[in-house]
Amino acid sequence: MVKVNQQPGAEDFRAFLQLIEQEALRFSAELLPVAGETGLAPQALLVLDPTLSATRKGELAKALWAASLPATAQKQHLALPDRIAALSGAERFTECVHAELARVKKSRLPCSLLLVRIDGNGVDRAFLNKAAAALEMAMEGEHHLAHFGHATLALLLPGQNRNRALRQAGAIQQLLAAEITARVKIGLAVCLARAVPAAEEFMEMAFTELQKAEHEAGDIFYSFPSQDDDSCQVTAEERAQLFSFLNRGHKE
């Protein structure tokens, strides 16, 4: 970790960061600037092995930041020249989905998958790179982003149920509109512990929704296992029986 102890002039430090960034390009490394509480400018730069897990990266950042990392610390990825090349491809992503679905069975927590297609004819590599950079800003530790064919990005959201994933999809839509004025189509699939599909099937579900988003009115479509047998709401019948003994007591 490279860390500056006194807040430098923003300009100097930016040049310094760029220098390190250029150096790091020669290696397989990822740069994670760590900003302190006080200013917007990063105060440290962490050079990471990109194969590390998100949890491990967080641990490292925290451990290396000698005092504890301020709660408000900003994590922001610097733009690498080709982010898309650094993302997982379809094959590696399928493995991730597979592992995550196994975890759903164990933890019984849900998991969501978003397929985001950047709309429009002029979508080139540079634009896609910007989209990936913007998406990465909205991501949390365990989220996994992948590149899925031409203008499509896939985002795996462990632990997220339908409502949260839909909220995330809406946020992504707004973020990409604001940051890079891109319009997106999103297909979303949610997996619950009681009916875990195979990884390929799960991805196919999201893909079907994405196609709906492209051909029908509306930008976000989702598929969710039927809620009928998942509802836990206590029914009037159950209540009546729960309280029946109280009434009995009254009559006696």
Partner 1 sequence: MENKQKPQIISISSGKGGVGKTSFTINLAAALSAKSRKVLLIDGDLGLANVDVMLGLNVKHTLRETVEEGRDPLEILVEVMPGFFVLPASSGVPEMASLSYEEQAFLIDSLEQIIGNFDFVLVDTAAGVGESVLWFNNWADKNITLLSPDPTAITDAYALIKIMKTRYNKEDFHLIINNVKSKKEAQEVFDNMSTVLENFLGVKPCYQGAIPQDSAVSMAVRQQKPFLIAQPKARASLAVTEICNKILS
Work out whether 109 is an interface residue with partner 1 (CB under 8 A). Answer: yes
Report the alpha-carbon distance of residue 238 to residue 142 in Å, rounded.
39
- On whether the CB atoms of residues 35 and 42 are closer than 8 A, the answer is yes
| Helices and strands (H and E) in the chain: how many | 8, 9
Q: How far apart are CA 22 and CA 29, in angstroms?
A: 11
Binding mask 67-106 for partner 1 (x = CB under 8 A): -x--x-----------------------------------
Site membership for partner 1, residue 160 (CB under 8 A): yes
| Token reading at 151 | 């203008």
Strand, coil or helix: what is 184? strand
Which is it for the CA torsion 112, 178, 185, 199, positive or negative? negative
26/106 with CB nearer partner 1: 106
Is 140 a residue that touches partner 1 (CB under 8 A)?
Answer: yes
Q: Specify whether the CB–CB gap between 206 and 187 falls below 8 A.
A: yes
Site for partner 1 (CB under 8 A): how many residues?
35
* Binding of partner 1 by 37 (CB under 8 A): no
Range in contact with partner 1 (rule: CB under 8 A) among 14-22, 124-132, 137-145, 203-211:
137-145
What is the Rg, in whole angstroms, of the alpha carbon atoms belonging to the chain? Answer: 23
Contacting residues for 184 by C-beta, under 8 A, at least 6 apart: 116, 117, 118, 119, 172, 173, 176, 177, 219
Single out the segment in contact with partner 1 by CB under 8 A; choices: 20-28, 38-46, 188-196, 212-220. 188-196
Among 62, 92, 150, 167, binds partner 1 (CB under 8 A): 62
Smaller CB separation from partner 1, 49 or 59: 59
- Confirm or reject binding of residue 150 to partner 1 (CB under 8 A): no
| Residues in region 212-251 near partner 1 by CB under 8 A | 229-232, 234-235, 237-239, 241-246, 249
Counting every residue, how long is the chain?
252
| Cα–chain center distance at 71 | 20
Please give the backbone phi and psi of residue 186, each rounded to the nearest 5 degrees, phi first. Answer: -130, 130
User: Applying CB under 8 A, which of residues 89, 120, 141, 170 lies at the interface with partner 1?
Assistant: 141
Q: Nearest distance from residue 69's CB to partner 1, in Å?
A: 8
Provide the binding-site residues for partner 1, judged by CB under 8 A.
Answer: 54-55, 59, 62-63, 68, 71, 107-109, 140-142, 158-160, 192-194, 229-232, 234-235, 237-239, 241-246, 249
